[in-house]
């Protein structure tokens, strides 16, 4: 016998205040009786919206790495640095821990996040029944990392402050920094748009 879900009992949860209420029969969505927020049984168009945000993040990942993230103007002239050239500069100048931190936070983590979300989407679209618990844990990890994603931006800020102290130069953010911020925000929105309940749908249909 398949496990009973809240939807089977005609119950739905408000995402704003958490109140469980009875869904009016036949209605797709309704309003929460306590706080008035729109209540849906599922996140609407989860797969389509997640793909749209994810693809936008992939596209912006290219300029975020190719365009300069910071411009350094000093007496000797202006220098433009991309994330990678910044990492190389730090590495060559002997700041290995900082070089590793910037590389990890600005290139590895965003790529791993994009790849994980893509994997979750593809597995859900293929009705995969493979390791739903592990995939749910992966999703929870993604949401957790999402909250700390702006760390990358802090790293760049600290980095520019360090350079500024050393060389009496003026630092300003380049267009790459905007693209980078957009990648972080779009990835966060994409993971918010993804409905992890989709992972478990195949489990209930197993005996069908
Ligand atoms: Zn509510």
Q: Quote the pTM value.
A: 0.80
Q: What is the Å distance from ligand 1's center to 185 Cα?
A: 26
Q: Which residue has the tokens 């005609």?
A: 10
Determine the pLDDT at residue 207. 46
Name the nearest CA neighbour of 73 among 188, 4, 172, 181.
Answer: 172
Q: What is the Å distance from ligand 1's center to 19 Cα?
A: 5
Determine the pLDDT at residue 191. 92
Q: What is the Å distance from ligand 1's center to 20 Cα?
A: 8
Determine the pLDDT at residue 98. 84
Torsion of CA 175, 177, 182, 187, to 10 degrees: 140
At 5 the three-state DSSP class reads coil
Mark the ranges of the chain whose per-residue pLDDT is less than 70.
Answer: 1-2, 26-28, 147, 149-168, 204-208
Instruction: Tell me the C-alpha distance between 173 and 195, whole Å.
Output: 35
Q: What is the Å distance from ligand 1's center to 10 Cα?
A: 16
Determine the pLDDT at residue 173. 79
The strand pair at 11-13 and 20-22 is best described as antiparallel
Determine the pLDDT at residue 208. 42
Counting runs of H as helices and runs of E as strands, what totals does the chain give?
A: 8, 7
**Both tokens of residue 177?**
């920094």
Between helices 46-66 and 109-125, what is the axis angle to 10°? 150
Instruction: Tell me the C-alpha distance between 98 and 110, whole Å.
Output: 17
29 - beta bridge partners? 40
**Taking every pair of C-alpha atoms in the chain, what is the biggest distance, in angstroms?**
75
Q: What is the Å distance from ligand 1's center to 195 Cα?
A: 19
Start-to-end C-alpha separation, the chain: 11
Determine the pLDDT at residue 203. 74
Q: What is the Å distance from ligand 1's center to 147 Cα?
A: 23
Q: What is the Å distance from ligand 1's center to 88 Cα?
A: 50
């Amino acid at each position: 016998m398949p496990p009973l879900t809240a939807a089977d009992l005609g119950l739905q949860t408000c995402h704003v205040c958490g109140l469980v209420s009875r869904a009016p029969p036949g209605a797709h969505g309704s309003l929460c009786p306590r706080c008035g927020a729109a209540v849906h049984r599922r996140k609407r168009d989860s797969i389509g919206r997640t793909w749209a945000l994810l693809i936008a993040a992939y596209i912006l990942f290219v300029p975020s790495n190719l365009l300069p993230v910071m411009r350094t103007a000093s007496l000797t002239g202006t220098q433009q640095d991309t994330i990678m050239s910044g990492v190389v500069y730090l590495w060559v100048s002997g700041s290995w821990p900082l070089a590793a931190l910037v590389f990890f936070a600005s290139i590895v983590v965003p790529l791993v996040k994009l790849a994980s979300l893509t994997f979750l989407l593809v597995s859900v679209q293929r009705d995969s029944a493979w390791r739903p618990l592990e995939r749910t844990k992966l999703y929870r990890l993604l949401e957790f990392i999402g909250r700390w994603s702006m760390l990358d931006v802090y790293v760049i800020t600290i980095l520019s402050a360090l350079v500024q102290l050393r060389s009496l130069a003026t630092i300003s953010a380049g267009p790459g920094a905007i693209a980078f911020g957009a990648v972080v925000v779009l990835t966060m929105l994409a993971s918010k748009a993804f409905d992890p309940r989709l992972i478990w749908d195949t489990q209930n249909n197993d005996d069908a």
